[in-house]
Each structure stands twice: as structure tokens, then as C-alpha cells.
Amino acid sequence: MFTVLGAALVAAALVGIAAHYVDSTRQIVLVAGALARVLMIAALPGTVLLGIGLGPMGAAAGVVVIGVALRTQLPLLRHRRRRPDSAGTPLSVLHANILLGQADPDAIVALVDEHASDVLTVVELTPSAHERLVAAGLRRRLPYEYVSTAPGGNGTGIYSRHPMSDEERHDGYITELLSARIGTPTGPSPLVFAVHPVPPWPRKPEAWVRELAAIRQMLEKIPADDGPVVVAGDFNATFDHKRYRDLLGHYRDAAIEVGAGHLATYHADTWYPPVIAIDHVLVRDGTVADAGLVDLPGSDHRGIRATLLL
């Protein structure tokens, strides 16, 4: 019994490891990628049980699997220290998926105050949710906005403390994908994207594959001399999806840069804590001073915040 159960748990961890490395468009593999960290953790009790059932050889096999699993996750835990002379224009970014517009607008405005956010990106922004955010006082904090609201989960918004220019709605995405340049009073003016590619489950994964590829191509085409770029959103992808890691390229994931580990944002409305990290803040031509999670009452996501030095 110990051997069978231990082998099953270690096998689950191997599935998570395989999902981390494999570039697949099959839905079952993509779901395994989203849950890869949970599957890999199964190697811990599995190794103990194999040790009981098979002795040292069983335990050794489990330890090897644990080692390979740790290797996949080390980039999330290794802090990229800034150089002592590292400096830049600070930009505080807050991202929120507000669950079809249902998140508490007062709580979101309070988060903007608490973290002195310069930029707020919002996805699943409905017309009524935008109105409630304005009524809650968001415009007094972030007076500039570029929004494309829509029923259901397709709306998106960018709110800013500083003036915006070059606003653009990007075609070819099921949910609204927006960008705008933020005119900071000193230093560079970053180009900010709010993204929300559709999930690979429960819908068929073809649209997710296409939209992630389109986002990657769009980001790679931005000229190197165009200044800093910030990308915030619900990517519906975790670090364990190879397509998300491929998307990073010259961009830095805020959580990875500060060694914050697995900043799980979804599901946030269940009795158990979130286990999937699908919301991210990325930056090009900048360093990350801080990153963390925030609670979004009324949403099924946690929000993510980052302090960037551009």
C-alpha cells in the first residue's frame, strides 16, 4: 500500500515536471502546467511513502524527482539583486481582475491609496463597474483613464496618475487589450499594456495559444529605443507554462525579479487559498524594487502590485 500510493504521488510530480518543460497545445497538458507546482509538491509525501515501502532505493528515487522539481522552481526564488548604483523613475503599478465587474470598488480605491499607485490596470471591466469605480473616487486619485468597457469579462481599463498619450486598442483579441504611454513628470514615459488573453480551459485552448503568440510578437516588435514598457494583466498562464516563459524574452517578471516565489492569484474566492499564479506585471528597461499580492473583495482573483524603477 505504501509503495503504490508513494509511486502514484511521485508519478503526479513527474506529470507536473513534464508539463513545465513541454511546449504543448493540448488542453490536458496546459491544465497540468497551471497545476504543476501542486503536482510537484506531491513528490514530498510520495518520497516518504516510497522509503517506507521500498527502503532506501525507493527514497532515493523520490529524492531525484524532488531535485528535478526544485530545479524548475528555483528561478522564482532567486532574488536578482539590484546594483548599488541602480536608480530610476519610480512607478507603482497595481493590477486587478475584478470578476465580471463584481469586485468592491471602495476596496480597489483603498488599495490605490495604500500603495500610492501611479497606474491601475483592470480587466473584466464592465460599464457599471467603471461607473462604480468613478463614484468611489478613483478619478480623484487617478484622473487620467483609457477604458474599453464591455459586458461579461471582456472589458479592460488603464487608469493613471499622470497624463496619457498614444492610447491604442489592439485588434485581434477576444477580450480588450489596451496600451497607453504614461507621461511621468520626470524621467522616461513608459508604454503600459493591460492584457487578458482568454484561458485555455474550459474553452478550447486554440484562442489562448494564438493570443499569447500575438502578445509575444507585439512586445518583441516594440523598438529598443522606445523607452520602458510595462505589461500588466491576467495572462491565464503561469511560470510553468513554457509559452509564458518564452513570452518574457527581454521582459522581467516582477515576482521573479524579487524572488517572491509563486504569487498565487487564483482562485481567491474558495475556502482554500489560491494556488495558481496567472496575474503578472512585466517590465522592460527597468528594475523591480518590490512586488506582492493584494486582496480584492468580491473577485475570484487576488491583485498584484509592483514598484518599478524605470
CA distance 257 to 253: 6
Q: Where are the beta strands (DSSP E) in 15-133?
A: 90-97, 119-123
- What cell does 103 get? 469586485
Superfamily of chain region 90-309? Endonuclease/exonuclease/phosphatase (3.60.10.10)
Secondary element (H or E) of residue 193: strand 191-195
Looking at residue 98, its amino acid is I
Residues 6+ apart with CB under 8 A from 119: 91, 92, 93, 94, 142, 158, 159, 160, 161, 182, 192, 230, 232
Cβ–Cβ < 8 Å for 258, 230: no
* Cell reading at 59: 527514497
**pTM for the model:** 0.94
Question: Residue-wise pLDDT tens for the chain (310 aa)?
Answer: 999 999 999 999 999 999 999 999 999 999 999 999 999 999 999 999 999 999 999 999 999 999 999 999 998 877 665 554 467 899 999 999 999 999 999 999 999 999 999 999 999 999 999 999 999 999 999 999 999 999 989 999 999 999 999 999 999 999 999 999 999 998 899 999 999 999 999 989 999 999 999 999 999 999 999 999 999 999 999 999 999 999 998 899 999 999 888 899 999 999 999 999 999 999 999 999 999 999 999 999 999 999 999 9
DSSP 272: S
Residue 146, φ and ψ in degrees, nearest 5: -135, 110
Parts of the chain belonging to CATH 3.60.10.10: 90-309
Looking at residue 76, its pLDDT comes to 86
Q: Distance between CA atoms of 201 and 30, rounded to whole angstroms?
A: 8
